[in-house]
């Protein structure tokens, strides 16, 4: 299989800080034409976005796509609810996992895969405060080690 042309639009770094990502899924997204043009310009935010399943359909809420400058009357509401496109078996699997306590679905990335806009969603479990502290401590130790390694290799 040939490697596809992938261009990252938005990344949700805070999701990795606040949640353990158990599984990831690639979903298509239903968009209007002016929204795609705005995404090509990189005008998107998924920091406050979340995913819900209603009537066996998956929707993304609070994803902000800036209105396209030249779109005038064709522009849609920037924070409107958008439908995600997944296979039925993936939706059923997600429904089963969501019923378990502590699981949620969070959008992790938005990117172009060829000419299609894709959303990477993650089945996540919330981190406790002590988990966040451990992650921060690990990052600090790794950063210090890299710094020491860099300094020792300069001489």
pLDDT of 45 reads 85
Q: pLDDT tens for residues 6-55?
A: 888 888 888 888 888 898 999 999 887 778 888 888 888 888 888 899 89
Residue, of 126 and 119, whose pLDDT is higher: 119
In the structure, what pLDDT confidence band is assigned to residue 1 with cuts at 50, 70 and 90?
very low
Phi-psi region of 77 (alpha: psi -120 to 50; beta: other; left: phi over 0): beta
Q: pLDDT tens for residues 56-91?
A: 899 999 888 888 777 676 667 677 888 999 999 999
Q: What is the CATH number of domain 6-128?
A: 2.40.280.10
* List of residues 6+ apart from 124 with CB closer than 8 A: 15, 19, 20, 21, 22, 103, 104, 105, 106
Domain boundaries, the chain: 6-128
- pTM value? 0.75
Quickly count: other Cβ atoms within 10 Å of residue 110's Cβ: 23
In the structure, what pLDDT confidence band is assigned to residue 2 with cuts at 50, 70 and 90?
very low
Q: Where are the alpha helices (DSSP H) in 33-128?
A: 33-40, 88-98
Q: What average pLDDT does this structure show over 99-111? A: 88
* List of residues 6+ apart from 44 with CB closer than 8 A: 9, 10, 38, 63, 64, 65, 66, 110
Alpha carbons 107 and 27: distance in angstroms, whole number: 10
């Amino acid at each position: 299989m040939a490697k596809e042309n992938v261009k990252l639009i938005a990344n949700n770094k805070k999701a990795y800080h606040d949640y353990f990502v158990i599984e990831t899924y690639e979903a298509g997204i239903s968009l209007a034409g002016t929204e795609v043009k705005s995404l090509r310009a990189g005008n998107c935010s998924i920091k406050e976005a979340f995913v819900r399943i209603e009537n066996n359909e998956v929707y993304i809420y609070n994803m902000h796509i800036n209105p396209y400058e030249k779109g005038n009357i064709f522009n849609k509401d920037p924070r409107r609810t958008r439908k995600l496109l997944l296979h039925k078996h993936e939706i059923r699997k997600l429904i089963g996992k969501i019923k378990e306590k502590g699981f949620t679905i969070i959008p992790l990335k938005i990117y172009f895969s060829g000419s299609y806009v894709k959303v990477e969603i993650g089945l996540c479990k919330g981190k406790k405060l002590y988990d966040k502290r451990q992650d921060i401590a690990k990052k600090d130790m790794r950063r210090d080690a890299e710094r020491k390694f860099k300094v020792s290799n300069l001489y």
